[in-house]
Amino acid sequence: MIAGNGRLKIAIQKSGRLTDESVELLRKCGFDFEFQRHGLYSPCRNFDIDLLALRDDDIPEYVQDGVADLGIVGENLVRERNAKVKHLTRLGYGHCKLIISVPAKSKVTTLEKLKDKRIATTYPVTLKHFLRTNKMKADIVELSGAVELAPALDVADAICDIVSTGTTLRVNGLKPLTTVLESQAVLISNPTSYGGEKKRELIERLMIRISGCLQARGKRYMMMNAPAASIERLKKILPSLKSPTIVPLAEKDMIALHTVVGEDEFWDLMEKLKKNGARDIVVVPIETIIT
Ligand code: PRT
Ligand code: ZN
């Protein structure tokens, strides 16, 4: 029996938008497993953790009820289900927004103008909370899917749905009116698992690895050689985690300089560094950063 064996159980989406990045993140954490997309459990060979492949809708409740100790799921679902779970960290993927949209030709241009109108959604709890916070009254039409069709079918005057690229809105002749919620994938924990000594220790070890991967995301390690006389100029150009590492070289009056840079800035930096005396510049990916 796998349940209750003292190992950590982490629920991830079986097959969907969050699956590949969740599996990739756990692999980057050094966990050795074969992901059983069609099975329930994927045991990890080198750490006391098992992956549980579930529908995303079930993850908040299963973590709340202790079926899984941890879960990776969109914040949008955690909110909608009002799950009593502990948020451990945002994971930086699965970005989307829950947005109220209206037909492009609609006269409704502000939230206030939606008063007493019909809003179709699969997120009734979050929408109700949002309307209450904004002291707005509207009729919530709860649907189970294909919400974007509701205005054309005259089932609703507006919709409240998840948007990422906005293509679905455009294709259906809709325009955004206001954002209800911004969301991304989050790591959640069952509060009791987090409170227990053995599981807490495993969760903390997992968290160190995840934070290391998150910190390293989008970063590159840059190494270069330069004349010692140019150090001050180069240091001014370079950002760094703390300060750049400077090592003397066998070649007289030459140094090696190492630093961490963002992947979006290293091309620009490289040109500036070269102009200021750096040469033999090498840029390599970073697996993890433990601070
Ligand atoms: O089978 P299962 O129930 O597990 O999966 P699912 O089909 O219910 O969920 P899935 O895989 O579609 O989404 C999982 C999570 O990804 C969501 O809970 C969100 O946290 C996040 N996410 C990110 C999205 C989107 N982007 C997104 N675009 N979830 C849904 N969408 C939908 C959106 O509603 C729209 O209808 O995709 C459609 C296309 O969006 P546009 O704006 O790119 O056109
Ligand atoms: Zn789902």
The reply to whether ligand 1 has any atom less than 6 angstroms from the CB of 183 is yes
If you measure from the C-alpha of residue 234 to the centroid of ligand 1, how many angstroms do you get, rounded to a whole number? Answer: 45
The CATH number that domain 219-285 falls under is 3.30.70.120
The answer on pLDDT for 3 being more than 70 is no
Strand order across the beta sheet in which 245-248 lies: 245-248, 254-262, 219-227, 279-285
13-48 pLDDT, tens digit each: 999 999 999 999 999 999 999 998 888 899 999 999
Domain pair 8-92+185-216 / 96-183, same fold: yes
DSSP 291: -
Strand order across the beta sheet in which 49-54 lies: 41-43, 49-54, 8-13, 70-74, 185-189, 86-90
**Domain residue ranges of the chain, discontinuous segments joined by +:** 8-92+185-216, 96-183, 219-285
Q: Which of 19, 164, 174, 175 to mutate to test the pocket of ligand 1 (most atoms within 8 A of CB)?
A: 164
71-103 pLDDT, tens digit each: 999 999 999 999 999 999 999 999 999 999 999
Which among 233, 287, 280 has a CA at the least distance from the CA of 260? 287
Domain 96-183 has CATH 3.40.50.880: no
The reply to whether ligand 1 has any atom less than 6 angstroms from the CB of 96 is yes
How far, in Å, are 2, 6, 159, 185 from residue 198 at the CA level? 17, 8, 46, 26
Dist. CA 54–CA 31, nearest whole Å: 19
If you measure from the C-alpha of residue 185 to the centroid of ligand 2, how many angstroms do you get, rounded to a whole number? Answer: 13
Which residues have their alpha-adjacent CB atom under 5 A from ion ligand 2?
Answer: 56-57
177-233 pLDDT, tens digit each: 999 999 999 999 999 988 788 899 999 999 999 999 999 998 999 999 999 999 889
Q: Per the CATH hierarchy, to which homologous superfamily does domain 8-92+185-216 belong? A: Periplasmic binding protein-like II (3.40.190.10)
Strand spans (E) along 55-136: 70-74, 86-90, 96-103, 118-121
The reply to whether ligand 1 has any atom less than 6 angstroms from the CB of 198 is no
Residue nearest (by alpha carbon) to ligand 1 atom 11: 16
Could you tell me the pLDDT band of residue 1, with boundaries at 50, 70 and 90?
A: very low
The reply to whether ligand 1 has any atom less than 6 angstroms from the CB of 163 is yes
> What is this structure's pTM?
0.91
User: Quick one: pLDDT at residue 239?
Assistant: 74
The reply to whether ligand 1 has any atom less than 6 angstroms from the CB of 162 is yes
Q: If you average pLDDT over residues 248-263, what whole number do you get?
A: 92
